[in-house]
């Protein structure tokens, strides 16, 4: 009897243990199932998140490409518009010339009409000169008589570049732009800091948003004006203190050929004189003759354009002084630089009376020559040297 009770107790004990073990096994299987489901859900969420990130990145890349293409289309549109306007100007000039030549043809039946047309043409030319004179406010009556002296300020070793002061403001600061393609400006506090005599004054480094083309840039009233690299004829106006582009323009007809045969990197040469901002360039339509344009530096618009008789062949640089263009020529192998051609926009100088003006005591070639109307001297870059030329002037006849 006791044995039977004991067996009954043992069977009951083992039965309860097996039941609990079975429950434990079921719970473990359930937990494992739930854990796997969570892992699968996390994997799907992670994959979904990655796909969202990829989509966002693709959308950003697409947006950037579209913005870039739209900007490119705007530039092409502006270039096309300027080219059309430039062509229309050329057509109008050609039409005026045709009308003039037709009016001067000998005809007994139309003598009085021809004289009237010639008189009208002369009156129009006189009115055009009067408007130009008013626009330029031509109070400057000096012309170049010679180059007195040369001063080599520094030798950097860079073959090409540009250096200048600002004739409009902060004229003590020196701006140094090395190379014909770069985007870094070094701003020196004064000439002593530039030459290295004051080692405590280190230059301020300014990084432009785009590189410049050539060496024809200028500083004027706190702004750097330069031809943007990679563009046909875009001129950028950059605030040197705020470090931002404030305006830009397209120069009609420019950028197709080099302004100077002996320094082909410069397609558009900017210049400053007593009248303000100018550009110098050459065009195939003018057989390589230089074209000068007066620019309103505030609105970045063209005020007037002149086709000159000075050719770009064997030219290495040019500058403007008192509304007169002076073109510097040299030999392709390098030699004595000399001014052989001048063009006065007001036609107050007899071009045939201007002698050849040689540059003193130097053999080589220039990659940049700019006139500074405040200091009345030339800033030049020749074979890695930064040079100042003092000028001799006389009154226009």
Contact 324, 333 (CB under 8 A): no
DSSP 126-160: HHHHHHHHHHHT----EEEEEEEEEEEEEE-S-SS
pLDDT of residue 106: 46
Residue 287 main-chain phi, psi, to 5 deg: 60, 35
How far apart, in whole angstroms, are the C-alpha atoms of residue 84 and residue 65? 28
Contact 218, 370 (CB under 8 A): yes
Exposure string of 238-265, with b = 16+ CB inside 10 Å and e = fewer, is bebeeeebebbbbbbbbbeebbbbbbeb
How far apart, in whole angstroms, are the C-alpha atoms of residue 253 and residue 357? 30
pLDDT of residue 28: 77
Contact 275, 323 (CB under 8 A): yes
pLDDT of residue 323: 92
Identify the bridge partners of residue 279 per DSSP, sorted by sequence position.
270, 293
Q: Is 376 left (phi over 0), alpha (psi -120 to 50) or beta?
A: left
pLDDT of residue 50: 87
DSSP code at position 196 = T
pLDDT of residue 38: 81
pLDDT 10s digit of each residue in the chain, 397 long?
A: 666 666 666 666 666 666 666 666 777 777 878 878 888 888 888 888 888 888 888 888 888 888 888 887 877 777 777 777 767 666 766 665 566 556 555 444 444 446 666 666 666 655 565 556 555 655 688 899 999 889 999 998 688 999 999 998 777 899 999 999 999 999 999 998 998 866 667 899 999 999 999 999 999 999 999 999 999 999 999 999 999 999 999 999 999 999 999 999 999 999 999 999 999 999 988 889 999 999 999 999 999 999 999 999 999 999 999 999 999 999 988 788 999 999 999 887 777 667 789 998 666 789 999 999 999 999 999 988 999 999 999 887 6
Contact 371, 321 (CB under 8 A): yes
Q: Which of 332, 223, 229, 339 is nearest to 277 (CA)?
A: 223
Rg (CA), the chain: 37
Q: Which of 282, 261, 268 is nearest to 332 (CA)?
A: 261
Q: Which residues contact 131 (CB under 8 A, 6 or more apart)?
A: none
Residue 175 main-chain phi, psi, to 5 deg: -110, 125
How far apart, in whole angstroms, are the C-alpha atoms of residue 396 and residue 129? 17
pLDDT of residue 141: 81
Q: In what order do the strands lie in the sheet with 338-344?
A: 315-321, 324-329, 338-344, 357-358
Q: In what order do the strands lie in the sheet with 301-311?
A: 269-273, 276-282, 289-296, 301-311
Q: Which of 368, 247, 238, 345 is nearest to 292 (CA)?
A: 345
């Amino acid at each position: 009897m006791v044995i039977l009770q004991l067996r009954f107790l043992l069977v009951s004990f083992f039965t309860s243990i097996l039941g609990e073990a079975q429950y434990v096994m079921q719970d473990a299987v359930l937990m494992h199932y739930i854990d796997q489901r969570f892992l699968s859900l996390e994997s799907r969420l992670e994959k979904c998140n990655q796909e969202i990130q990829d989509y966002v990145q693709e959308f950003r890349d697409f947006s950037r490409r579209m913005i870039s293409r739209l900007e490119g289309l705007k530039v092409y549109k502006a270039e096309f518009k300027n080219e059309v306007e430039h062509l229309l100007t050329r057509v109008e000039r050609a039409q005026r010339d045709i009308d003039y030549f037709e009016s001067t043809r000998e005809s007994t039946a139309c003598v009085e009409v021809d004289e009237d047309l010639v008189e009208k043409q002369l009156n129009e030319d006189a009115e055009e000169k009067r408007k130009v004179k008013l626009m330029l406010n031509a109070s400057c009556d000096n012309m170049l008589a010679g180059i007195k002296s040369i001063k080599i300020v520094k030798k950097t070793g860079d073959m090409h570049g540009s250096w200048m002061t600002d004739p409009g403001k902060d004229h003590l600061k020196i701006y140094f732009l090395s190379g014909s393609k770069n985007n870094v400006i070094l701003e020196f506090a004064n000439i002593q800091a530039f030459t290295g005599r004051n080692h405590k004054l280190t230059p301020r480094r300014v990084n432009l948003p785009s590189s410049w083309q050539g060496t024809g840039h200028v500083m004027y009233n706190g702004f750097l004006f330069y031809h943007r690299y990679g563009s046909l004829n875009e001129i950028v106006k950059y605030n040197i203190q705020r470090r931002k582009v404030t305006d830009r323009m397209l120069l009609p007809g420019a950028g197709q050929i080099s302004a100077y045969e002996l320094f082909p990197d410069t397609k558009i040469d900017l210049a400053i004189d007593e009248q303000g901002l100018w550009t110098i360039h050459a065009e195939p339509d003018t057989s390589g003759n230089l074209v000068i344009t007066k620019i309103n530096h505030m609105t970045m618009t063209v005020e007037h354009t002149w086709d000159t008789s000075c050719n770009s062949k064997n030219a290495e640089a040019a500058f403007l002084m008192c509304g007169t263009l002076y073109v510097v020529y040299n030999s392709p192998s390098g030699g004595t630089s000399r001014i052989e051609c001048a063009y006065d926009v007001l036609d107050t100088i007899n071009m045939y009376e201007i002698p050849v003006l040689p540059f003193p005591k130097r053999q080589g070639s220039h990659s940049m020559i700019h006139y500074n109307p405040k200091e009345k001297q030339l800033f030049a870059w020749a074979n890695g040297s930064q040079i100042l030329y003092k000028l001799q002037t006389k009154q226009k006849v």
